[in-house]
Amino acid sequence: MNATIKSIPSKFTVVNFTANYKAHFNASLNVAIWTVIAAAFALLTLSAIFTSLTGPDYLYIQGDMSLTQFWQLYSGLIATVGFLLTYGCTQLVTINKSYWKVYFMNNVEVIYKGEKLDLNCYELRMYDKGKFIIAKNNQQIDDFIFQLNNVS
């Protein structure tokens, strides 16, 4: 994928960027695995909360503790740990989703005056789906967006 710009700062479109990024993201095995793990921990958390709310008021244990007794005795702790693990897994999924900039830098060439730009030297912001703004710094991007909004 490539895009040609005529000036800096500039607004430009990368055709099919959003579709390609979503396909790349959905193909990522890590995201799928962490989503499934998060769902499993969420079910664990909900069942522990349900047990905590509807479980017995007293628990008599003689000898070894069964799994059911353990679950009833420590349902609050299990719910807390399950919630923390669910939150951690969802954060991992969110972090993987936010790497559009890395994907952009690895897969898109921006051409300016016939040469490929080194995107590490410029600021890049997603303006809309598949539309981007490039400038030398964030202040230039903000000013450029202000101009775009006032012209429209």
Task: For 56-93, write each residue's pLDDT tens digit.
Answer: 888 888 889 999 999 999 999 999 999 999 999 998 88
Can you tell me which residue has the tokens 């000898």?
Answer: 63
The mean pLDDT value for 89-99 works out to: 78
Q: What is the pLDDT of residue 27?
A: 65
Split at pLDDT 50, 70, 90, the class of 102 is confident
Q: What is the pLDDT of residue 38?
A: 94
The mean pLDDT value for 28-46 works out to: 88
Q: What is the pLDDT of residue 104?
A: 84
* Crossing angle (nearest 10°) for helices 29-54 and 75-97: 160
Report how far residue 104's alpha carbon sits from residue 7's, in angstroms, rounded to the nearest whole number. 19
Alpha helices in 98-137 (DSSP H): 100-107
Split at pLDDT 50, 70, 90, the class of 152 is low
To the nearest 10°, the Cα dihedral for 54, 57, 62, 68? 10
Report how far residue 28's alpha carbon sits from residue 22's, in angstroms, rounded to the nearest whole number. 10
pTM above 0.85, yes or no: no
Can you tell me which residue has the tokens 């499934």?
Answer: 36
* Crossing angle (nearest 10°) for helices 29-54 and 17-27: 60
3-state DSSP call for residue 5?
A: strand
